Amino acid sequence: MSESVREKERVEGSQERPSEEMELVKTGIKGLDSIIGGLIRGRTYLVAGETGTGKTLFALNFLVYGALNNEPGIYLLVDEDYEDFIRGARAFGWDLEYLIDQNKLSILTLLPDFVERMRNKSLDSIVKSIVYNLASEARRINAVRLVIDPVAPLVLSENELGKMREYIRSLIINLEKQIGTTNIVTSEIPTGSNKLSRYDIEEFLAAGVFVLRLERLGNKYVRTILIRKMRWRPVHPELYTFSIASGRGIILGKKL
């Protein structure tokens, strides 16, 4: 065998090894894990979609499954009331308070004065404050999963696009380096847009991207999920239907 052939095989083999050696985390979403294998432990994944497409249920599905399988998780609510969130989950069939009492799940919210305290702070200070508190809570319950819903902060305005992108970049990098949880962040796509995220940066930083949509097929609408990106995984971009079942979460359907 020639040296050039050996070198080619060595390089190709090294390109394959990352997906084989990296530990994978199951999402718990019925039908999805058999397709993607799982999420790479310690990395960040984006769930994007227009309002009402199921982003929160996708993210909560991921945490509930982990909590029930001895992988505690944290849910950071950015723009929803804690009590409303707990009531909504209970009505859906998920008793989050039981998981919280067992230290398998923690639901955090930004304190009412957080926005004002951070209003004139530097981006670095904002990120450090959020990561510090998340890291403290992760140590308390030994969390290995984390959701931020949505990833955009309340302390920056929509016209501060450059700052918003830098905030998201810094936040994701620090989450992975300082906490080490497997993360899902959500981002709302403007209605009618073909964008993959709100600020056109989340998809580049994420190890994987799932885009949820409502698609019109004939005279009815169906929920769809596009597996848009899966870094280091042998997964092709594909579009699937999905349904939502109370107490079970998201269930993948047929490929379109």
Could you tell me which residue, 51 or 163, shows the higher pLDDT? 51
Above 90 in pLDDT, residue 201?
no
**Residue carrying the six token digits 């109370």:** 246
Return the minimum-mean-pLDDT range out of 85-94, 155-164, 184-193.
155-164
Query: 232 — alpha (psi -120 to 50), left (phi > 0) or beta?
Result: left
Above 50 in pLDDT, residue 18?
no
**Residue carrying the six token digits 């931020």:** 148
Angstrom distance (rounded) from CA 132 to CA 175: 10
Above 70 in pLDDT, residue 132?
yes
The structural domains of the chain, ordered by start, are 43-255 (3.40.50.300)
**Residue carrying the six token digits 């960040």:** 44
Could you tell me which residue, 12 or 67, shows the higher pLDDT? 67
pLDDT of residue 126: 85
163-172 average pLDDT score: 85
pLDDT of residue 158: 60
Q: In the chain, what percentage of residues exceed pLDDT 70?
A: 82
pLDDT of residue 57: 96
Q: In the chain, what percentage of residues exceed pLDDT 90?
A: 57
pLDDT of residue 216: 85
Return the minimum-mean-pLDDT range out of 90-104, 186-200, 222-236.
186-200
Residue 45: strand pairing partners: 184, 208
| Token code pair at residue 144 | 């290995």
Above 80 in pLDDT, residue 16?
no
Q: Which of 209, 217, 206, 207 is nearest to 241 (CA)?
A: 217
Above 70 in pLDDT, residue 199?
no
List, for residues 26-68, the tens digit of each pLDDT value. 999 999 999 999 999 999 999 999 989 999 999 999 999 999 9
Above 70 in pLDDT, residue 7?
no
Above 60 in pLDDT, residue 134?
yes
Mean pLDDT (the chain, rounded): 85
Radius of gyration of the chain (CA): 19
